[in-house]
Amino acid sequence: MGFLESLGRWRRGWSGARASSDDRSVYGNFWFEPTGIRTRAGLRVSAASALTLPTVFACVRVLAESFSVMPFVLYRIGQRREKVPGHWLQRLFCRAPNRFQTPFEWRLMLMGHLALRGNAFCQIETNSRGEIAELLPLHPDRMQVEVLDDGNYRYRYTNQAGRQVFYARSEIWHLRGLSSDGYVGLSPIEVAREAIGEGLAMQSYSARFFANDARPGGWVEFPGSFADSAARNTFRESWQQAYGGQNLRKVAVLEKGMKYHELALNNSDAQFIEARGYKVPEICRIFRVPPHKVADLSRATFSNIESQSIEFWTDTMLPWAECWESSIERFLLGEDTDLEVEFDMRRLMRGDSASRTAYYQGGIQSGWLTRNEAREAEGYDPLDGLDEPLMPLNMVEESKAEELESATESAPSRPPSEESLRLQAILEAGARRLARRASGALAKRPGTEVFDDGFAELMAEALGMDAGLARQTCAELAHAAGIRPLTEEQIAQALMVGATYTLSPEGGPHEG
């Protein structure tokens, strides 16, 4: 197919009013779209007519738009996955899939075809190096898959000029949804045509109902009789012309003893609009779209919307992403490749700021998430030195953990120095003096008042302790004294526990 013919096809088929399904010219899609199957509700349902139902259009748009905003990432598989910039596939999906469309428009169109018709087709155009240069979308309603005698198949496409063009399997990239034969995907509209036809019938009835001013018709009582059926039809037509349509609520003029009787609005008519609301979740069920995504909040509790939004990505969009990814790797990259594609939806599944903070903190502290990965997930640029995981225990870098461990094991144990032994004796003597004083005070007045702030200040001064640590030790002694009597030895041991944190002259913790 030449460039001019391809350009003319695009101009006529995708960029003007002639692309409308109502265009019955030789360039329109009307003569090529399926007529649809008549349902029990009396309407023919096709992909084009189903889109006139707001819930169907909303579901298709939600699926197409949600998929189109997912970032496309190309990885090289090895010991570690590495991003591959500058690849021709990266250019197709992120810069220009063809000469006419942006990546968003192209993915939006193909995902709409998949969601509505179960199939999406693209013509593969290659360059002189054998790389795919363009992916030109083809309308699914104009495409037919023909199975050959040897089990292989080819594609027969009817272009805008009405001519049939045959394509080999290697010339078409075919995305298919759920399929019953492996060749063509099932159209959700055809499978669920009865439910959609019922919704269209209810919508049509509602439109006629409101066209009559949301009031039922009535009947005219005529005491005599008309001359013949032609006179009766003439009267009925003149009545509808005078008092129907835009002439509703005009004053009627009756003659010859005529009386107008208005029919009352029964309960079934009054509840009809409410019944239409029950079709929304049923159609959402066909496309696996949560009702709140199509603005149906009738059953929403607003307590689990965030969880439902995440479930939409994991249960609805993840299978579609896998459908695209497996097809790209199989038919565009080929079997002999070490590349892997991914539609990244992690940013779209993020919760609120508190949930994200807890998630990142847990991942970094557990060692399975780096600090730069957390920054990239939040849209920040990476920083130098934050690419290595942290050890969970002491939060040192993994490369230094073994060095610190070996250095600790190989370091010889030193005997306590003379200064440490002298400091140990001084602390023990001071602790025992304070213990005797506290024990004597408890004997005179049992209770927890002995270990007050004054005793904490005395202990901090005598043992050289930190004031906060002294108050904490007093609080523990007061709590223990309130439970059971304390001996002098028990008080001395408790004071020595606090005294062991006193800094030695070398600047480290006391070795005793």
For residues 367-393, average pLDDT: 83
Phi-psi region of 366 (alpha: psi -120 to 50; beta: other; left: phi over 0): alpha
CA distances for 315 relative to 34, 94, 166, 189, 473, angstroms:
31, 25, 37, 21, 55
Is residue 8 pLDDT above 50, yes or no?
A: no
Q: How many helices (H) and strands (E) does the chain have?
A: 20, 13
Place of tokens 């049992």: 446
Place of tokens 């849209």: 379
Question: What pLDDT does 114 receive?
Answer: 96
Is residue 17 pLDDT above 90, yes or no?
A: no
User: Which residues neighbour 246 within 8 Å (Cβ) at sequence distance 6 or greater?
Assistant: none
Categorize the per-residue pLDDT at 273 as very low, low, confident or very high, splitting at 50, 70 and 90.
low
Tokens of 288: 């696996």
Length of the chain: 512
Question: What pLDDT does 318 receive?
Answer: 93
Tokens of 289: 């779209």
**At 37, which helix (H) or strand (E)?**
strand 37-38
Task: Give the residue ranges of DSSP H helices in 247-297.
Answer: 267-270, 272-276, 279-287
Question: What pLDDT does 223 receive?
Answer: 72
474: amino acid identity, one letter: C
**At 175, which helix (H) or strand (E)?**
strand 172-176
**Regarding predicted confidence, which is higher, 10 or 102?**
102
Categorize the per-residue pLDDT at 77 as very low, low, confident or very high, splitting at 50, 70 and 90.
confident
> Within its chain, how far is the Cα of 345 from the centroid?
7
For residues 71-77, average pLDDT: 91
How far apart are the C-alpha atoms of 279 and 277, rounded to whole Å?
5
Is residue 262 pLDDT above 80, yes or no?
A: no
Is residue 217 pLDDT above 90, yes or no?
A: no
CA distances for 361 relative to 109, 178, 375, 390, 396, angstroms:
39, 40, 12, 11, 15
Cα end-to-end span (Å), the chain: 90
Beta bridge partners of 18: none
Say if residues 495 and 459 touch (Cβ distance below 8 Å).
yes
How far apart are the C-alpha atoms of 349 and 166, rounded to whole Å?
42
Q: Convert the pLDDT of each residue in 315-339 to its tens digit.
A: 999 999 999 999 999 999 988 788 9
Question: What pLDDT does 352 receive?
Answer: 65
Say if residues 256 and 223 touch (Cβ distance below 8 Å).
yes
Question: What pLDDT does 20 receive?
Answer: 44
Q: Convert the pLDDT of each residue in 155-211 to its tens digit.
A: 999 988 889 999 999 999 999 999 999 999 999 999 988 889 888 888 887 777 776
What are the E-state strand segments in 366-482? none
Categorize the per-residue pLDDT at 120 as very low, low, confident or very high, splitting at 50, 70 and 90.
very high
Is residue 14 pLDDT above 50, yes or no?
A: no
Question: What pLDDT does 3 receive?
Answer: 41
Question: What pLDDT does 64 receive?
Answer: 96
Question: What pLDDT does 202 receive?
Answer: 83
For residues 205-226, average pLDDT: 67
Q: Is the pTM of this model over 0.85?
A: no
How far apart are the C-alpha atoms of 148 and 154, rounded to whole Å?
7
Q: Convert the pLDDT of each residue in 337-358 to its tens digit.
A: 889 999 988 777 766 677 778 8
Categorize the per-residue pLDDT at 51 as very low, low, confident or very high, splitting at 50, 70 and 90.
very high
Of the candidate ranges 23-37, 137-151, 160-174, 375-389, the one whose mean pLDDT is the lowest: 23-37
Query: Which residue, among 50, 307, 332, 84, has the nearest Cα to 194 in the 3D structure?
Result: 50
User: Which residues neighbour 220 within 8 Å (Cβ) at sequence distance 6 or greater?
Assistant: 239, 254, 258, 259, 260, 261
Is residue 254 pLDDT above 70, yes or no?
A: no
Tokens of 220: 């005219």
* Percent residues over pLDDT 90 in the chain: 29
Of the candidate ranges 153-162, 246-255, 462-471, 486-495, the one whose mean pLDDT is the lowest: 246-255
Mean pLDDT of the chain: 79
For residues 459-474, average pLDDT: 79
Say if residues 484 and 473 touch (Cβ distance below 8 Å).
no
CA distances for 246 relative to 77, 234, 264, 358, 477, angstroms:
69, 20, 22, 62, 92
What are the E-state strand segments in 80-205? 82-83, 119-126, 132-138, 143-147, 153-158, 164-167, 172-176
Categorize the per-residue pLDDT at 4 as very low, low, confident or very high, splitting at 50, 70 and 90.
very low
For residues 379-390, average pLDDT: 85
Question: What pLDDT does 467 receive?
Answer: 78
Categorize the per-residue pLDDT at 212 as very low, low, confident or very high, splitting at 50, 70 and 90.
low
Supply the DSSP symbol for 131.
Answer: -
